[in-house]
Structure 1
């Protein structure tokens, strides 16, 4: 069963998410009916996500090579800078409560911010193992910094879309910082918490799925989500390719491999709305759009990466 799940792009996130969505669609009252621990598992996005961020922080360490840091820093900073530009532009053309009519109905600044600012690190690492070097694959280490809602919050704040109180920012980053500190102070603690990075993904994915009504995906949001995914690939892929060539001294393959939406980004809209109520009205639709982005980019990005490497990649020795 695990092998079949792994054969699906982003399967460790998508499959539990879909199971949770089935529960929400066909048994919406199940959490209240069962209550207790079952209710906590089906509705506990925030506490599960907090523990996951702690484990992510513990997995990030500073003892990396110069090449890995150059590759990581180039990709992360380029992705975040590009995301900030895109969100800033969107803030001037999209209403705060999202677009209500027309072919773009359902699109919001929250959806764009959460779709463009996080790279699927696992997908990137696997592609670089096939088409790049071990150093390029190792750039995955700093991509973990993008994980969670903090970067999306920073983007929304920097673009002038939202104003978060200082304690909210501190509260959002504390689990990550605590994990980072403990993981770097004691390698044994890093080894203890490291398995949580992957182990907790299905649990918060299932809880997140319990907020998604699949009827939403049968609406025009499906076409809009596909369009948003293609926009993410093009709008972030071009700057990433150029940065990889000019700064990272690569051939652009790492850039296109990083032009995806991370599975964990699906949790960001509701996580942000939980601490910033002004986004509650657009959070559910944004979650559906980001989920579609994850699926589409997980399929399209590997194809484009292979084609790019075939055309422009250097022969591997």
Structure 2
């Protein structure tokens, strides 16, 4: 039975298939794997640890001389994602109706969903289609976790004042450290670099499954059509923007598109904003379910969009080889 070959024939299959299987299980039989001990630790609660190990293995493949390239790519993605999300939030405020909503969406939900990205999904997609430098760009993308960049956007708009304590330097260092440890090991010992190389691809289906166990399809129902619209905007607007910006820099555009998602932790952003400013309290509950719907929608739709973009590039004569996009004919 050729499971690996079958998965590889599906664009992004090593990540998409385990994630969707787990999401289905979590929606219809959430307690099936939540039985404690090793089973739950690996298949339900293991995403963070597995991603951390993936980043360490990836870090080992990075030559210290090229790390600046990764920082540049990460900064470009971070700025693009934030600028597009903030711009749509501003449009929502400008054209909101008397109920404070635009297209049924709370502006804070738009900013929270579109400026925050699913790091695990990014790592999984770039792990399949990106280079080692592209994967290391995630170290900087950790800055868009949580409500910090949403607060920055709101403060720029004059909607509220800047709130201290929304960004933790410790959290950022905690994301960066596994990559740095891997870099040190790989640059000190070539054999260690080779030893850790296999982990970069082997871990993808396992942490993709664990990520899927955090997805509940019912969130789409709770968020309604407006939440789905928010997810569509996040994938096709921020994802396409990242694609075009990376293409303009002559980098792998698939890596830019891989940022077109909403992170699960963005669900807590509306409540955090409401806690910081009571003026947003009336929108917090609606915004929360809309962001949750966007999280699930993007987790399902972004891999499919990436698959479409990959096929489009392949039809134009490009191929992905060892994480690099190259022109093979024409």
TM-score normalised to the size of structure 2? 0.67
Match of 2:313 among 301, 305, 317: 305
CA-to-aligned-CA distance 1:118-164 (integer Å, 9 cap, x gap): 58435645xxxxxxxxxxxxxx2321122366243399449726822
Cα offset, 1:80, TM superposition: 3.4
Match of 1:295 among 295, 298, 303: 303
Aligned-pair Cα RMSD in Å: 4.2
Distance (Å, rounded) in 2 between the aligned partners of 1:273 and 1:189: 39
- Tell me if the contact between 1:121 and 1:144 (Cα under 8 Å) persists in the aligned partners: yes
- Tell me if the contact between 1:83 and 1:116 (Cα under 8 Å) persists in the aligned partners: no
- Counterpart check, 1:226 vs 2:232: yes
- Tell me if the contact between 2:78 and 2:144 (Cα under 8 Å) persists in the aligned partners: no
The match for 2:136 is: 145
Cα offset, 1:56, TM superposition: 2.1
Change (3 A) 1:90 1:223: closer
Match of 2:28 among 13, 19, 26: 26
Match of 1:121 among 104, 118, 126: 126
Change (3 A) 1:78 1:165: closer
The match for 2:77 is: 79
The match for 2:168 is: 165
- Tell me if the contact between 2:116 and 2:266 (Cα under 8 Å) persists in the aligned partners: no
TM-score normalised to the size of structure 1? 0.69
- Counterpart check, 1:39 vs 2:48: no
- Counterpart check, 1:89 vs 2:87: yes
How many pairs does the alignment contain?
A: 281
Structure ranking higher on relative contact order (CA contacts 8 Å, 6+ apart): 1
- Tell me if the contact between 1:226 and 1:296 (Cα under 8 Å) persists in the aligned partners: no
Change (3 A) 1:13 1:298: same
Unaligned runs of 5+ in 2: 94-99, 154-164, 274-283, 319-325
The match for 1:269 is: 263
Distance (Å, rounded) in 2 between the aligned partners of 1:63 and 1:56: 15
Cα offset, 1:308, TM superposition: 6.3
- Tell me if the contact between 1:48 and 1:200 (Cα under 8 Å) persists in the aligned partners: yes
Unaligned runs of 5+ in 1: 126-139, 245-253
The match for 1:58 is: 60
Distance (Å, rounded) in 1 between the aligned partners of 2:182 and 2:268: 22
Distance (Å, rounded) in 2 between the aligned partners of 1:30 and 1:24: 8
CA-to-aligned-CA distance 1:222-272 (integer Å, 9 cap, x gap): 55433432213432233333333xxxxxxxxx564444216xx87x82467
Distance (Å, rounded) in 2 between the aligned partners of 1:173 and 1:240: 23
The match for 2:5 is: 3
Distance (Å, rounded) in 2 between the aligned partners of 1:25 and 1:155: 27
- Tell me if the contact between 1:13 and 1:201 (Cα under 8 Å) persists in the aligned partners: yes
Cα offset, 1:52, TM superposition: 2.1
- Tell me if the contact between 1:113 and 1:155 (Cα under 8 Å) persists in the aligned partners: no
- Tell me if the contact between 2:11 and 2:307 (Cα under 8 Å) persists in the aligned partners: yes
- Tell me if the contact between 2:92 and 2:101 (Cα under 8 Å) persists in the aligned partners: no
Cα offset, 1:291, TM superposition: 0.9
The match for 1:133 is: none
Single out whichever of 45-54 and 275-284 deviates more from structure 2. Answer: 275-284
CA-to-aligned-CA distance 1:66-125 (integer Å, 9 cap, x gap): xx987x777555433322322443565679xxx988454795434323449958435645
Q: SS at the partner of 2:133? A: helix
The match for 1:260 is: 257
Q: SS at the partner of 2:246? A: helix
